[in-house]
Structure 1
Amino acid sequence: MAKNTSLYFRIVEGRSLPAKDVSGTSDPYCIVKVDNEVVARTATVWKNLNPFWGEEYTLHLPTGFHSLSFYVMDEDTIGHDDVIGKISLSKDAIGAKVKGMDNWLNLTRVDPDEEVQGEIHFGLELLRDAKRIGLRCHFIEARDLAPRDISGTSDPFARILFNNHSAETSIIKKTRYPHWGETLELELETEELSEGGTVTVEVWDWDMVGKNDFLGKVEIPFACLHKTPLVQGWFRLLPLGNNEDDAGGKLGALRLKVRLVEDHILPSMYYQPLIDLLVQSVISPAEVEDGSPLNMLEEVTTVESRQDVAMTLVKIYLGKGLVVPFLDYLNTREVNHTLDPNTLFPVQLSSF
């Protein structure tokens, strides 16, 4: 059984955006990211602090995605575009609302320490024998790290921390895909074995001048190492976890409509009898309309699911090369059920 994850979102409009240009206005557009990967960009609305976009997108995503982020930017003809603010939604927050969400959301400030991406591959082991007690971390590699330098790369190094103990790997210059192949050990006291706490692995970008830039972190509860002495694999890097600051609404707001749909898909043979009935309904419409499969489908379709049903029907008829006869069927049905001769009939899925 396959699983299909679809994400629908509509960027409706913005309001009360701050002025970024000397003219007292801004030229806003939106960038949409899934797990820090750009997936969409709206048009630019020139010289407007209350822009209307009304742009809709449907994405088919891997089941393991974590977050959806909307960045509002101010386009500049000369120089870099300015970041106005962002809205981040976790997959859990979106999925918690079955009907989706349709809200005004305040923009938050963009913190560089929160803009992390990529994964790190390491193995963490609890050492406990007669000679020593400690933690051993084998840093293997990392991939797809955020670029922090003007060259579009970073100079990453990794660090392990537990209580007051820490150790660092060497620095790998100018890469977003570092390979360390290093093993670090932390010596612990016996009493620390009974403590809780968290083992933290951090990745940083080394800077010759100024402070180092944060690239992400992974946290492993120390209690996990008592149950499984060796924890190893690829781990997604997480931000520092600072509380988002919406600046009291001073950065403006976006009206967004977002809905997550996760479907379990059976082998095609289970759907074939229904598809055959739907195809036959269009090719040879029944004289008694109430008995047609499409009519019965409409009767059992709820208001909330009509859009999903309509999109699925379009996909079926597109795949069968029958989308035009399908639309003809719907329009004919509307004409037959309309008594007012002055009604105009646009070509649309009005029945659904």
Structure 2
Amino acid sequence: MRADDVQQVAENTLLPVVVAAASLVTMVMTLALCSLCQWCHRRDSYTELERDDETSEKGGAFPHSNVISRKTIKFERPPGKALVRGNVQPNADGDEDSAENGTSLKAYEDEGSDSNEDAVSEPSANLGRIQFSMSYDFDTMTLVLHIKRAVELPAKDFSGTSDPFVKICLLPDKKNKMETKVKRRNLNPHWNETFQFEGFPYDKLQHRVLYLQVFDYDRFSRNDPIGEVHLPLCEVDLTESPTFWKDLRPCPNSNDNLGELLVSLCYQPTAQRITIVVMKARHLKAMDITGTSDPYVKIWLVYREKKIEKKKTSCKKRCLNPVFNESFIFDIPMDKMKETSFIISVMDKDTLKKNDVIGKVCLAPRSGPLETKHWKEMISKPRQPVAMWHGLKK
């Protein structure tokens, strides 16, 4: 065979092999690039999820150990320090009562004898308003503060009310604080109490800020902050003895950010039953060291402060924004409606210890403003599901 023929045979044999090898290399490089892109996408997704699940710890504005005892304070003060006097309501700490009574639905006593979904309502941001007045005695260099009243305070207790009192100080001094008396079970309290800050030259007051913080008094747990007011005294003409109405603002350091729960209620008067749909929750507080929670929802039917029947949803693992969409039916005689309520608790499931309570909502004829509104709207729109967001409470 001639040399030219041998060369042509070799070229015809090697060309397909080279082409196949080039195609294989191209395919491997393509697959590697795709894998790298997917890995990057997953990494970005995980990073975004971690950002969504981040939560921050919050605490009360002032530690309770620094509260002045209830009496008139007289003491020697170093230059620049002022004498304060006023009334103080002592607080108490303890453990929350957690007993549960699983009585049958038959425990109801004998006494004398169609579907369109509403728009979802967002929780109200109204924390109420407080009224107070101030005056200044130039002869004694005394600032006189008169705490008058508050209106439309939110309910912090499951009874549908609060036990409010006011803490007072002149910032930046946080050590010398005064308090009003506690007004039991009152969302529109009248205090009418006077407090005096003695030994303050008028020009020194221009550098102070009046700080009022309204709390709900709790006997067996930490007091719940309701709202606060900051008023720089440089903006106040004390020669006129002004009176103020101020909206309460959220306390940035409060521990109230427990999350929110979306619940639907539907009342069927003919069948004498209420259907509760636990729809979803959002921004739940992380209860585990992993920065997340394993939430589920527990519902207690309560009649005359006695727990009658309990139901609960499934548990959603490692989730701060769970979606449940689970419905529960409760048979309730019509004549028992006025004394019936539902305590809805969002729980964090734990394997090795007792499940933690993230927060609760009490839906009843007499509860918090938003809870009562939800109940009344359910009654006024029979056979129609009414859904609302509710902020979780301790």
With normalisation by structure 1, the TM-score equals 0.36
Bigger radius of gyration among the two: 2
With normalisation by structure 2, the TM-score equals 0.33
